[in-house]
A = this chain, B = another copy of it.
Amino acid sequence: MISVILLGAGNVATHLYKAFAASNNVTVNQWYNRTLDTIESYKNDVEIINNLSQLTEADVYILAVSDDAISELSSQLPFENRFVVHTSGSVSAYDIDKKNRRGVFYPLQTFSKSTSVNFSEIPICIETLVRTDYSLLKSVAISISDHTKRVNSDQRASLHLAAVFVNNFTNQIYRVAHEITESNGAEFDMLKPLILETAKKVQDISPYKAQTGPAKRNDKKTIKKHLKALDNAHHKANYNLLTESIKKTHGR
């Protein structure tokens, strides 16, 4: 049994706790957060603490806190030469205080408190600065996920950046579509099957092959009609840039 101590109480920490609690190979010894009230409801299942001096020994300490808090929290840890990882996509493993052995445990998914996630389908990117720590971290990852991948810092940074595109930017495209439909008395709900199908399509074929529509066909008549219909300058700018982007990709 691998022992883990979790630090932080955000969405990643909470979903990680639940995944570990359901796993057979990892046990969460303690769950630390600065304020106890956020994790109070778990006190019957795990030792909850709010003071770093209460931290006991464990195989891995997982800092599931915001990017900006990683460095400082790691330097406050009252021990050394233990194995400490963070869960961030964009922070270097070197940002963890060097008094401990360092690594990264980055689950590539969007988490919200209310939505349950199936961790087994979530890719976990792992990285260790000390080579001998790798197999331990790998064991922790495969105890909750079927998609564990060793990635170096550059690869992780590019995955995090690409994740901003497919998650935040895609979601903003949905938002613009919401604004367009609502302002014309149409229902955004009607677009939901298309949203899902678009995401499903690229599970099997590349986005390049999946592309269709007026920009790819360079259908100037439809593009002109769409630009005329968009009365919001901000929507127009999005339309223009993404249309150019598609044309560029498909050699139009």
A51 within 8 A of B: no
Q: Which of A203-252 contact B (CB under 8 A)?
A: 203-204, 206-208, 210-216, 219, 221-222, 225-226, 229-230, 234, 237-239, 241-242, 245-246, 248-249
- By a CB distance below 8 angstroms, the chain B residues around A239 are 164-165, 169
| Complex alpha-carbon distance, A169 and B67, angstroms | 30
Segment at the B interface, from A96-104, A131-139, A147-155: A147-155
Q: Once the chains bind, are B168 and A211 in contact (CB under 8 Å)?
A: yes
Q: Assess whether A194 is in contact with B163, with CB atoms less than 8 Å apart.
A: yes
Q: A178-B207, A211-B172, A216-B168 in contact; A196/B200 too (CB < 8 A)?
A: yes
Q: Which residues of B contact A123 (CB under 8 A)?
A: 190, 193
8 Å CB contact of A198 from B156, B166, B201, B208: B166
Chain B residues with CB below 8 A from A168, complex form: 211-216, 242, 246
Within the complex, the shortest CB–CB distance from A87 to chain B, in Å, comes to 15
Residue A22 lies at the interface, judged by CB distance under 8 Å to chain B: no
**Do the beta carbons of A166 and B173 come within 8 Å of each other?**
yes
Q: Judge whether A180 is part of the interface by a CB distance below 8 angstroms.
A: yes
